[in-house]
Structures are given as structure tokens and as C-alpha cells.
Structure 1
Amino acid sequence: MNATMLPTPTSPDAAWPRVGAIVLAAGAGRRMGHRPKCLLQLNGRSLIDRQLEAVVQAGLASVLVVLGHHAERIQQEATLLQWGARWVVNPDPDAGHVSSLHTGLQALPPDLDAVMVLLADQPMIDVSAIQALIHAYAARPQGTHMVQPSVQNLPGNPVVLSSTVVSQILAGGIQMGARQWQQLHPEKTYRWKTPDARYRLDVDNAQDLQTLKTLTGHSLLWPSDLIR
């Protein structure tokens, strides 16, 4: 499938960055009854399928899914291969998001200018949300190396990390993640202000499912084999 290319930058001297993508999907889903949240379905399609489609159509250069808990069940989602995504398994997913981030960053090709880190349980992140974030990264203030959406002064996801940040995270050991890097380098973080609430919506528990329905009118359903 041909990716939708990003439009040409307005500045003649600018160039669009080569951005890769990591989708974090290694969690146990304990607050969802130990079920993989990324397999919740919106309009009959899993969240992981919808997100991978959006990433590919946004024109990102490389797509990697980090699995852990429920890896075998998620791999049964044949559409992972349809979108050309690769996957890697975090051998210790209970170590948390930082260990999954390291697992993903280590598996990406070295020629990327930046990496977008996505959470697999954000149901409303689509191609327009991803492209808007890439635009924000391309237009970020000079000297900044990380872009994070800021919705009503609250942090959102996904985030974009420059290759400099990627190198420093990997060199910082297993305790160094995107949040820790941001805390050490607040002046190098661009908090991109946006009114778009999609960057703040994720589904960690049953209450989040109800909140999503209230705010958007959309209901998420489990596939038949995960209904309890």
C-alpha cells in the first residue's frame, strides 16, 4: 500500500525529517482483566490495526510494535503483517514502559532523524493527528529535541524524539526513558500547545471506556474470544 506523503514544508530550506515509529503494546492490561487493550475494537477493527494503518498512511519511515504480555494473541492479528509492521518482544515487560521503549529503540534502523513513540491504547489517534505532530516536530523551536502535545497544559501522547534523544536514552541505562530525559532537559522539550483532546485519550480501565463513549460517542468492544 502506498503511504500518504506529507506535504512539502513552506520553507525552501527545510526538509521533512525521516521519522520512524514505535508502538508500545507490551502491557498486561491488569485493569482490563488481564486482556490486551490494543485488541479492543472500534467499529469492528482493533486499536492496533487502526493505529498501524494511520502510521503507515502518515508516511512514517519504519514501524515497529513492541510486544510483551499477550504477544502470541496480538501476533494473531494478521493485519500487523498487512501494514508491513515488524514486532519485537520485550523479555521483561513487567519492568515497565521504559524497558519496552529501550527494546524498541534498539531494534530500529540507525538512519532515522526522529522516532515517534505511540501508545497502543489511544483509540482516536489517526493519520491527521500523527501528521499534525510531525508538522509540529518539523517546525519546533531551534535547540529542542523532543516534542510532546500539551492539551490544556496537560501532557499528551504520542511524543517525537530526535535521534539525539534516542542516543541519550539508550546511553542512560534502563532507568532512562522519555519522561526521565524530559525532566533532565526541560529547556530542550517543545510542549506543543494544541486543543486536540485526542492526544489525551487512552483506555486503561473500564471507566476510561465510559469516558470515551461520553466524549466521542464511540464504544470499544472486545473480540469474541476475549469477552468475559
Structure 2
Amino acid sequence: MSDTHAWKVAARREAPTFSAVVLAAGLSSRMQGQHKLLLPVEGQPAVRRTVSALAGAGPAEIVVVTGYKGRAVMEALDGLPVTFQSNPRYEEGQMTSVAAGVAALTAPCNVVMVCLADQVLLDAADYRELIDAFTAMPRGSILVPFFKGQRGNPVAFSASYAAEVVSGHVNPGCRKLIAEHPEEVFVYEVAHDRFTVDMDTPEDYARIQERLSDASECARRALS
């Protein structure tokens, strides 16, 4: 069966049930004293904007992994349909948060999506696009979005990998993942850069604010 035919056959399969792990434990060490997840983005904390968009994509469950200023992150998400998992080892690196979040999942699902809490430009349709792409991919069990050669996020993987992710044997966030597991990883080429934009520095934050302001102005003019 050709890859093209396999893709078309797979595209007719029913979309899988997915759960999401949101990584919100980091130190924001490059944000010059500010906690990036609590910075306002169009009137709400960045982390709330991200998780609200994700919730709109219809996951079976959302686990938010907390660490640095965990209480403030939890308060910023008050009222949203999430559960929280504290990671006392968050300073040891992102993989400890991935493992903690995946281990905390309880709802049955076919796919796990690991999301970055500072990807504030993604909307619900973007997350659904990745799940649809996972359903339709012709091979592999891990999907990684790319835009013009740049690796993006979130990463989605078959729930059958959960035990290996929790144990640390598979790191879906690892930059070497494609090289180490080429037969398992499907590179999904996306049509825009929102999957590659996050918010690590004050300069990133300023660019995102400007971009959102420009988009709002364009929308306002279109309606006037």
C-alpha cells in the first residue's frame, strides 16, 4: 500500500480520544524576574489563555504540571476543567515534568499530547489539527509538528508509550527523538508558525503582544 493510499485510508478512521499534559512547572529563568505564565495576554494570564484554547479542543483530560510558583499557576487556572500534578523535581529538567504529568493521567485515551504552557498563539483548532493529523498519519506512533524546518510543539504520541515515558525510556520532548526513533516518528508539516512560537524572553513576549495587537486591529477594520 502506498503512503498516499494509506493516508487516505487512515483519514477515514475515527479520531482517537486524547488527553493532554501541560508543562507549567518551569523557572522562567530567561524572563528577567517575571513569571512568563502569569504575564497578561489579551486580558488573561498566559497560562490560562493556553489551557482555555486546549480545553476547547475536547481532550478527555488535562493534567497541568506545576512547580515554580505552583500556587499562583493554579490560581490563574481557577475554574477550568483541569487537574494538577506537582513536580517536586521540576528544577531537574522538563522530562521530569513530562513523566509526572503522564503518570497522573487517569482517563482512558488513545493519544497523549504534551503541551507547552507558553504557546499562547495556538487555538483550539490548532490542537484539533494535530489530533486529526495523528489519526491520518501513514506510519509511526509519535507525531512532531514542523514549520519550514523548525521543530514545533505540542508533540502527540500513542498512549501505548505512556509507561516508557513515565520511566524515562522515551522522551517525547527530546530534540534527538527523530534521529533515535525514525521509524516511530512522523514529521507533520504545518502551514503556519504558531506551533513554533513560545514565550521565553521579554523580547518574545513583546513580539507576541505586538502580533496579537496587529491581528485584533485587522479584525476590527474588517468589521468596520
Asked if 1:194 corresponds to 2:193, the answer is no
CA gap 1:73/1:88 in 2 versus in 1, 3 angstroms: same
Size of the alignment, in residue pairs? Answer: 204
Residue 38 of structure 2 corresponds to which residue in structure 1?
39
* Native 8 Å contact 1:28 1:34 kept in 2: no
Task: Give the letter for the 2:95 counterpart.
Answer: V
Q: Structure 1's 203 and 218: CA in aligned 2 closer, same or farther, altered over 3 A?
A: farther
Distance 1:62 1:30 in 2: 29
Amino acid at match of 1:23: V
| Residue ranges of structure 2 left out of the alignment (5+ in a row) | 1-9, 216-224
Q: Partner amino acid for 1:45?
A: Q
| Preserved contact between residue 11 and residue 135 of structure 2 (Cα < 8 Å) | no
1:157 matched to 2:136: no
Where do residues 28-177 of structure 1 align in structure 2 (5 Å cutoff)? 28-77=27-76, 80-109=77-106, 111-142=108-139, 144-173=140-169, 176-177=170-171
- The amino acid across from 2:171 in the alignment is G
The AA in structure 1 aligned to 2:204 is D
SS at match of 2:186: strand
Structure 1 residue 218, shift from structure 2 partner: 6.0
The code of the aligned residue for 2:208 comes to: L
The superposition leaves residues 56-106 of structure 1 with CA deviations (integer Å, 9 ceiling, x where unpaired) of 2111110110000111221222xx242211101101111110000001011
The one-letter code matched in structure 2 to 1:188 is E
* CA distance in structure 2 between the partners assigned to 1:172 and 1:39 by the alignment: 29
In structure 2, give the amino acid aligned to 1:116. M
Letter in 2 for 1:206: P
Distance verdict in 2 for CA 1:100–1:218, change over 3 Å: farther
Cα distance, 1:96–1:172 mapped onto 2, change above 3 Å: closer
**Structure 1 residues 66 and 202: alpha-carbon distance in aligned structure 2, compared to 1, 3 A threshold:** same
Counterpart AA for 1:200: T
In structure 2, C-alpha distance between the alignment counterparts of 1:127 and 1:40, rounded to whole Å: 21
1:212 aligns with 2:212: no
Q: CA separation of 1:218/1:202 partners in 2, compared to 1, >3 Å: closer, same or farther?
A: farther
Q: TM-score, normalised by structure 2?
A: 0.83
CA distance in 1, matches of 2:165, 2:11: 32
Range with greater deviation from structure 2 (161-170 or 44-53): 161-170
Q: Which runs of 5+ in 1 are unaligned?
A: 1-8, 220-228
Sequence identity of aligned pairs in percent?
27
Q: Normalising by structure 1, what TM-score?
A: 0.82
Match of 1:225 in 2: none
Q: Output the CA distance in 1 between the equivalents of 2:88 and 2:214.
A: 34
What is the CA distance between 1:171 and its match in structure 2? 3.5
